[in-house]
Structure 1
Amino acid sequence: MEGFENEIARLIGEDLKKPVTYYWWPQTIGFVRNTLRARQCDLVMGTASGEELMQNTNPYYRTVYSLVYRTKSGIRAESVGDPTLKDARIGVVEKTPAVNLLRLYGITRTEPYQLNTDTRANNPARDAIEDVAAGRTDAAVIWGPIAGYFAAQQTEPLTVVPLVKEPAVARLQFNISMGIRSDEPEWKHWLNDFIKRRQDDIDRILLRYHVPIIGPDGALKTAAAIEPPGYRMDQYRAPTPAGLTGASTVTLAELRRLIEHFPDTRLVDVMPAPPRPADRPAPAVWVPPPRRSLPGAVWLPNVGYGSLSGEQERYFRAGLETVSHGDRAARLVFFCEPDCWMSWNAAKRAVEWGYGNVYWYSDGAMRWQEAGYGLETVEPFAGGASN
């Protein structure tokens, strides 16, 4: 399943060592009755703290409504009260706090989107973002997690401004918790402990999905704040950062959209090749197993280590030169598997070598396959030894 709440739920399942299954129901009248109370599920992700129909865990993030506009529009607003928005047509979902904000500034040229709808079939907030990208509206004020996620999927560059500078009377910031049944105190205690232990991992997921996160000090958290300064040198299978300076971090949905709109996108798999087994020493013949990877990917094994030998570096440079056809502006997407620093290291190295359109797909081939998309067998790039 694609989405940051799904990934956080997956973390919970991994911690519990139990499989995660999903039960979908639109958030309309009867939502809690038909989900938690009917025991169709044990946990509701992403509920506002203070929800009276459910027992709330401690919040696992705080976020805010955001302003979205086309980057090339000439608008440079950091507040809805900016003069450049005076005559703008602004999209807004009905009956949300964003409506009150627009009224506060006397803005009446609005494009309303329906709130109460079956979001399994319709997504008004997504429609509002797409209308901004298409030029049907000038801007939109949308719930921050939705704004960041869908804005990143548009081919038209959009600017997303978390509205942290608006007056306090316009309540736009909310703590987000998990919802559970009221008679399960042990479950609540376990979840609160999980949130405390895994907060950094949760933040990484949220930031990777472009969710604006407000820290305890009231400031926005950024991916750069939790990004290490150098290469990862060991323990490569561990939670990775939310982003990479100089590269664009893409989710599965964003990667598919990138491939769809830019067919010349090059996919670079840097999963290391399995080492020769101890019971097959040279000169015994041993052929490493082939790799199952994304369709069209070029496999450059063993180039994601924090320190490369001279031979590994020459192999990596030759591979990138071949994949990019010598074009430093080529779109290069680096990946391996979830929680694998190899792809982060490789993408970082490509940025430092002067490649200008580097993308990092941290979910890797496993998440691609789990989403129902096919893999194909690939062989290592034959430009020289890689180990």
Structure 2
Amino acid sequence: MAARHLALACGILAAALAAPALAVEATDRDAVRVCADGNLLPFSNERLEGFENEIARLIGEDLKRPVTYFWWPQTIGFVRNTLRARQCDLVMGTASGEELMQNTNPYYRTVYALVYRADSGIKAQTVGDPSLQNARIGVVERTPAVNLLRRYGITKTEPYQLNTDTRAHNPAADAIADVAAGRTDAAVIWGPIAGYFAARQSVPLTVVPLVGEKGPVPLQFNISMGIRAEEPEWKHWLNDFIARRQDDIDRILARYHVPLVAPDGTLKKLTAADPSRTPSGYRMEDYRAPTPASLPGAATVTAEDLRALLDRAPDTRLVDVMPAPPRPADRPAGAVWIPPPRRSLPGAVWLPNVGYGALSAEQERYFRTGLEAVSRGDRDAGLVIFCERDCWMSWNAAKRAVEWGYRNVRWFPDGTDGWREAGFPLEPAAPFERHASN
């Protein structure tokens, strides 16, 4: 039952899957259709801010297809109403061994974590540490953490509900917030949730992945993607994707503070991005990958650098080059289609689809016109070009602006990810519209 408890703790609830004999393979569809909860960070949300959203985007880019979502709260009946109902074709995270969904190969392994305030005086590395014997410890009901606390005879606990409506509650996140506020002394929470929310508290928290715990209570689990049965091509494609893009997946997970466990049971050590990946020309493929540390001819800025720049030079122009979602394949010819708004830096001008290594004549005209409008024709105007973290689109676009003679270009490699993580707001941005006369 531990695997099932983990699936519940992660919000991945399963129901029996009906597998028609003549199933349509997901690889034959015009879009990558993902089943997800619209309010379950750090996994997913409707703003596409979770790590499962980011990994799904990698899948879409690899397949050169748009990613669409069918949103449903991760409560009982999730799989029945999403995957089984054929509203979507992929559940991004489920415990490996989940018998009611076909599993891909695992794409990460993680572990429960102990969380406590850094200034609490607690120095525990295991739940059995004597300093925790009289501590009030938060725990989500019916998860492996409950059995772990019982094993050590710890009964002074603060329980948090497991089955809840995620549209209104995130009990595991509440458990971390209560540690930060001093309402509890510590918590034992599923690692991805613990790492993500601990990093977002106003006071420093210590997060101890419990890789050293020994005994009959399993705390480490492999996480796979879930699909319907009888879709072998889809499963084989996803397994190949996981093998090819594992380094990129690991880097995404690390940015969300997910404790990653290596095959030997120890914490995984990630390799740094190779700076030799900088091309002599433009990046022509694999646009979602680690970027270089700098860009010749442009200054590189962090979120804090940019905030200070905007304070002293408020006329700095912000240019977002995140690609727009592709036009849906089922949209009738001639029908008007406007990409959905993107959440971007306040005041940014969104110029989608101008960061590819090779631009069509129309894309180049659009980019040139957009830069002219943003800079008001002033080649010395301050421009900050960005996308998201690990997005070569912004590197290409900033490089192109430099080559077109713009003399005050800054590149913001962390983009909207870094801006949001620094605690700064985002707001909706619509694509720049070029006037017919231009």
TM-score (norm 1): 0.66
Aligned to 1:27: 74
Aligned to 1:212: 259
Does residue 111 of the first structure (1) align with residue 194 of the second (2)?
no
State whether residues 387 and 413 of structure 2, in contact with CA within 8 Å, keep that contact through their aligned partners in structure 1: no
Query: Deviation of residue 120 (structure 1)?
Result: 2.0
Among residues 377, 381, 390, which one is paired with 1:339 in the alignment? 390
Closer, same or farther: CA 102–287 of 1 in aligned 2, 3 Å: closer
State whether residues 58 and 288 of structure 2, in contact with CA within 8 Å, keep that contact through their aligned partners in structure 1: no
Among residues 19, 30, 51, which one is paired with 1:4 in the alignment? 51
Closer, same or farther: CA 240–183 of 1 in aligned 2, 3 Å: closer
Among residues 101, 106, 120, which one is paired with 1:73 in the alignment? 120
Among residues 362, 365, 372, which one is paired with 1:289 in the alignment? 372
1:6 and 1:186 map into 2 onto residues whose CA distance is 22
State whether residues 98 and 141 of structure 1, in contact with CA within 8 Å, keep that contact through their aligned partners in structure 2: yes
3-state SS, counterpart of residue 221 of structure 2? strand
Gaps of 5+ in 2: 1-47, 294-302, 322-353, 360-368, 376-380, 396-411, 432-438
3-state SS, counterpart of residue 189 of structure 1? helix
Deviation string for 1:193-220 (max 9, x for gaps)? 1111111111110001111111223221
3-state SS, counterpart of residue 21 of structure 1? strand
Deviation string for 1:30-64 (max 9, x for gaps)? 22211111001100011001111110000000000
State whether residues 180 and 188 of structure 1, in contact with CA within 8 Å, keep that contact through their aligned partners in structure 2: yes
Query: Deviation of residue 28 (structure 1)?
Result: 3.1
Query: Deviation of residue 105 (structure 1)?
Result: 0.8
2:245 and 2:76 map into 1 onto residues whose CA distance is 33
Aligned to 2:238: 191
Closer, same or farther: CA 13–111 of 1 in aligned 2, 3 Å: same
Closer, same or farther: CA 31–266 of 1 in aligned 2, 3 Å: farther
Deviation string for 1:84-113 (max 9, x for gaps)? 212111000000000011011111110000
Among residues 262, 272, 279, which one is paired with 1:226 in the alignment? 272
Does residue 361 of the first structure (1) align with residue 414 of the second (2)?
yes
Aligned residues: CA RMSD: 4.2
Number of positions where the alignment pairs a residue of Structure 1 with one of Structure 2: 301
Gaps of 5+ in 1: 245-254, 278-285, 293-297, 303-334, 344-358, 378-387
Query: Deviation of residue 22 (structure 1)?
Result: 1.5
Closer, same or farther: CA 59–376 of 1 in aligned 2, 3 Å: closer
2:114 and 2:312 map into 1 onto residues whose CA distance is 30
Deviation string for 1:285-310 (max 9, x for gaps)? x9953659xxxxx95669xxxxxxxx
Question: Which residue type is aligned with residue 98 of structure 2?
Answer: E
Query: Deviation of residue 336 (structure 1)?
Result: 5.2
1:232 and 1:168 map into 2 onto residues whose CA distance is 47
Aligned to 2:23: none
Among residues 97, 100, 122, which one is paired with 2:144 in the alignment? 97
Does residue 39 of the first structure (1) align with residue 86 of the second (2)?
yes
3-state SS, counterpart of residue 56 of structure 2? helix
Closer, same or farther: CA 376–183 of 1 in aligned 2, 3 Å: closer
Among residues 189, 192, 195, which one is paired with 1:148 in the alignment? 195
2:192 and 2:291 map into 1 onto residues whose CA distance is 15
3-state SS, counterpart of residue 65 of structure 1? strand
Closer, same or farther: CA 376–33 of 1 in aligned 2, 3 Å: closer
State whether residues 289 and 390 of structure 2, in contact with CA within 8 Å, keep that contact through their aligned partners in structure 1: yes
State whether residues 207 and 222 of structure 1, in contact with CA within 8 Å, keep that contact through their aligned partners in structure 2: no
Aligned to 2:378: none
Closer, same or farther: CA 212–362 of 1 in aligned 2, 3 Å: farther
Closer, same or farther: CA 137–241 of 1 in aligned 2, 3 Å: farther
1:74 and 1:242 map into 2 onto residues whose CA distance is 40
Query: Deviation of residue 150 (structure 1)?
Result: 1.0
State whether residues 49 and 59 of structure 1, in contact with CA within 8 Å, keep that contact through their aligned partners in structure 2: yes
Question: Which residue type is aligned with residue 414 of structure 2?
Answer: Y
1:93 and 1:265 map into 2 onto residues whose CA distance is 47
Query: Deviation of residue 234 (structure 1)?
Result: 5.3
3-state SS, counterpart of residue 195 of structure 2? helix
State whether residues 236 and 340 of structure 1, in contact with CA within 8 Å, keep that contact through their aligned partners in structure 2: no
